[in-house]
Amino acid sequence: MELLVTRSLYLCALFALSLAAPLQDAAVEDGGSSPAAPDRCAGIEFDAITPDEKGTALFFIGDHLWTGFTGPAQLSNLHFRGLSGAVNAAFRMHNTENPDDHDHIYLFQNDKVYSYFNQNLEEGYPKQIQEDFPGVPTHLDAAVECPKGECVTDSVLFFKGHDVHVYDIATKTVKTKTWSHLPSCTSAFRWLEHYYCFHGHNFTRFHPISGEVTGTYPKDARHYFMSCPNFGHGGDRKPLKCSDVKLDAATTDDGGRKYFFTGRVYLRVDTHRDGFHPFPITRGWKEVNDGVDAVFSYSNRMYLIKGDQVYIYKADAHFTLIEGYPKTVKEELGIEGPVDAAFVCPNQHTVHIIQGNMMRNIDLTATPRVIDRELPLPLSDIDAGLCGENGINLFKGSQFYHYESAMILAAGRIAPQPQAITSAMMGCQD
């Protein structure tokens, strides 16, 4: 969304702006609209917002809703059978320990709650809110899911006025906070692990535990959460072709979040249900403002390398720079920078550093850290490396080389056939 790219970084700008366009395949068919359908580009206030089971955002107003960030409105009861009238609040349940509830959609009307799965109303619904959510008030203003790691436990935030009722899904208990500094939310939305309070046609981003607001808010939702004429970053740019992709770094953190870095932006590529969306690197790692050369993750920490400097962040829901950093690559890893690529395989303690056509292995449990093995590679000028359960991918331009394991990579003397980066990997155009 907030794409802070400059004209001089044309490729990065093109990449970010083209991918930031809302998902087109989420649009509803014209046949679902009605003559009295409202226009969300007219500056309206949403009653509720939630993703559905597939990750498509649903925007409610009155007896209408929109599916996705573009397209016309349709009657809500065409999407949710048995629903009649306006919705006060809505959220998608996050409860992986209880498959009977996980990914179900809850819609609230006055003192009642509806539960849907695959657009089908569950047996026994609607119910009184207190039956499913004891301690939660009626006539809510907004609701939003908050998974463990972003909140202390798997929770739901229920908004009524300036009060926020934090409902613990496991214990079914409620703690109430008052966030008088936050506007009264008429709807709330969790998108790519960030939280948004919608009020009028504006929104304000907030921290789900403290309610803290950082940055310049409110902002007009028509610039970010929908496709409207004369709003947003523009839709006249062609999508980036996969053949033009060039990565700088890639990694998967301990929480399973996968990142690709290019220029001054990064892309989350494990969030297919929410689409592929680039953001400025400074949004996640505010101290790193000029791109990265290599990134790797180890022991709930993320190492970002730029030139001869390494920044280490604690990798929780949000990244925090560890005190005393950045340090030199020599001081931290025992080698001189710069670094072309780096990766750590799951449940391993060795970082594989690629410089030119050499791979240098460093034991991360050793103190001090020094090279314990140095191997030639049949490749050079590698841009990024990524290791996962399916093996290792070494990226070079718009292609990658796949190896089954680090052992096979170390023993290889002939490079495998390169494979092309595809739209499924990062949302580019094949």
Alpha-carbon span 94 to 132, nearest angstrom: 15
From the centroid of its chain, how far is CA 91?
A: 17
Q: Would you say 26 and 68 are in contact if contact means Cβ atoms under 8 Å apart?
A: yes
In Å, how far are 37, 50, 108, 397 from 82, measured between CA atoms? 19, 18, 13, 52
233 annotated to bind ligand: yes
Could you give the C-alpha distances from 273 to 25, 130, 181, 285, 309, in angstroms and in order? 12, 31, 32, 24, 35
**What are the boundaries of each domain within the chain?**
25-223, 242-426
DSSP 289-307: -S--SEEEEETTEEEEEET
Each residue's pLDDT tens digit, 251-288? 998 888 899 999 999 988 876 666 667 788 988 898 99
What's the pLDDT at 12? 39
Q: Rounded to 5 degrees, what are φ and ψ at 165?
A: -100, 110
Same topology between domain 25-223 and domain 242-426: yes
Name the CATH code of domain 242-426 (choices 1.10.287.3510, 1.10.1740.10, 3.90.1570.10, 2.110.10.10): 2.110.10.10
Q: Which residues of 126-148 are buried (b: 16+ CB within 10 A; e: fewer)?
A: beebeebbeebbeebbbbbbbbe
Flag whether 318 is marked binding.
no
Q: What is the mean pLDDT of each run of 10 residues along the chain (430 residues)?
A: 35 37 33 63 92 89 90 90 94 88 94 93 95 96 93 95 96 96 95 91 95 92 85 54 93 90 89 69 89 96 97 87 96 95 96 96 95 93 95 96 92 92 84
Answer for the pair 379, 396: CB distance below 8 angstroms, yes or no: yes
The domain made up of 25-223 has a fold known as Hemopexin (2.110.10)
